[in-house]
Structure 1
């Protein structure tokens, strides 16, 4: 991956280390039972804006948990501790959860490689009776390039059963140029929601053209909202355009 270093990418880190911890080692009955990254939601980064996300790790031991250390790591790079330290809460006499925050600034990315490789949560847990557990792969997660969609339906208003042309553009963050770039060759759904209802239905699927351009022709049968939706993929986030209302007369 083309990054300056993780020290630049993850801003405000309290600690850096060039030493990798063993893949997984433990003594006694200390275990990690749960890891949650970004509240379970996809983590998608735009071309320039810094983004902060949280990681929570839950561990248990029959004597209780004394302390944890958590780091976020990219392969072959330094790994970083939470920007603001950890907040730890005892859930019971044997189980505790520790949560930290990490800030990623894509202005420090040299390219789009961080969306191609998995990110890792390294965790070390110390129990009150001296037992411990350490792993460099408590969990893995994906950082995606943020996708955006636009939509325009015309003409407005339109005659009943006349042709309606719906256009738009699919774009995603380019961390090389720090701008949004058109995303071509992707399947994008055109959806419609009739006025007075709350559910969108897919009308047709088209493939984004050069520069991410989208275009479809449909029959105008009722007042309602038109939008494009993109399901995302392993490197790019999902996206939905804000519905464009069309009055059918």
Structure 2
């Protein structure tokens, strides 16, 4: 038996129903949305049940920290030529089928709704879900994540027929899981004389899923941005590289009142982030 552990256990129900769903598979397995299934379930032929249009989080990466719960939307369509019961599932998983596990804890179903129609012998369900990623472990946890899990996760759907069979449909959809980033800023002195130097410091840190803390993000390219008083947007003044501890520092010449901030654009494993603005009065 090969176990696939994934994001979401889905049950078709009315939008008004809200509940948590949890499974435990084997010793030491923590979190929700964990389900063991055979690699090739017996049941209906692949053409009888198909999953498509799977979209997590509106197509945007899911950025996960170490504390705060993150709401995640999921939409998908399932079509069937055979009768299926109320249990049909959409999973995101890591790794390779039959080689390693793809499991994430801390996810549970908050709301669900499916629009159902039948035409030409095919029943179509168009479903919308809201799930939550909760690293605090209130409804599962993320302790099974490690930093190397920040990548694109594969997906598949599975449905059970009323006759007791099941059908699994691998899909081409993926979901990107990224580590949350924090940025701090401090511009000094405040106030400052026009023509004098302002030093802007700060720090960039990133969620460490392996040790469950935020660590300094070394050698990151971060933009220093400025918004003059009365302006509607920030502009980039210069780009700096963080130190081995994630420290940021830049010096600029004071000319007009305004706010300074740091901006990080993100990468394949880390989410984008901007700091708050620090206002400096120029006299």
Please tell me whether residue 173 in structure 1 is matched to residue 207 in structure 2.
yes
Unaligned 5+ segments in structure 2 are 7-23, 136-140
Show the counterpart of 2:193. Answer: 159
Cα deviation per residue 1:71-129 (whole Å; 9 max; x = unaligned)? 232222266897338734227656432234254536513631211x43222113689xx
Question: Partners in 2 of 1:236 and 1:78 — Cα distance?
Answer: 20
Equivalent position of 1:145 in the other structure: 179
Partner in structure 2 of residue 119 of structure 1: 153
Answering whether residue 218 of structure 2 is matched by residue 193 of structure 1, we say no
Written as runs of structure 1 = structure 2, the 5 A alignment for 1:5-24 is 11-13=31-33, 16-21=35-40
TM-score, normalised relative to structure 2: 0.70
In 2 relative to 1, CA 21–119 (structure 1 residues): closer, same or farther, beyond 3 Å?
Answer: farther
Aligned residue in 2 for 1:99: 128
What SS does structure 1 have at the residue aligned with 2:230?
Answer: coil
Residue 101 of structure 2 corresponds to residue 77 of structure 1: yes
Shift of 1:27: 1.6
Does residue 109 of the first structure (1) align with residue 133 of the second (2)? no
1:54 aligns with 2:47: no
Q: Provide the aligned length of Structure 1 versus Structure 2.
A: 237
Unaligned runs of 5+ in 1: none
- Taking a change above 3 Å as real, the CA distance of residues 27 and 137 of structure 1, as seen in their structure-2 partners, is closer
Instruction: Tell me the distance in 2 between the aligned counterparts of 1:48 and 1:80.
Output: 15
Distance 1:79 1:168, change over 3 A: closer
More displaced stretch, 44-53 vs 227-236? 44-53
Q: Name the CA distance, whole Å, in 2 between partners of 1:196 and 1:168.
A: 24
Q: Is the 8 A contact 1:59 1:65 kept in 2?
A: no
Contact residue 18 and residue 79 of structure 1 kept, 8 A: no
TM-score scaled by length of structure 1:
0.79
8 A Cα contact 2:52 2:171, kept in partner: no
Counterpart CA distance in 2 for 1:91 and 1:224 is 54
User: CA 1:155 to 1:51, structure 2 compared with 1: closer, same or farther past 3 Å?
Assistant: same
Q: Following TM superposition, by how much is the alpha carbon of 1:64 offset from its aligned partner in structure 2, in angstroms?
A: 11
RMSD: 3.4
Deviation of residue 138 (structure 1)? 4.5
Report if the CA contact (8 A) 1:26-1:133 is conserved: yes
- 1:32 is displaced (CA, Å) by 4.2
- Report which of the two has the higher share of strand: 1
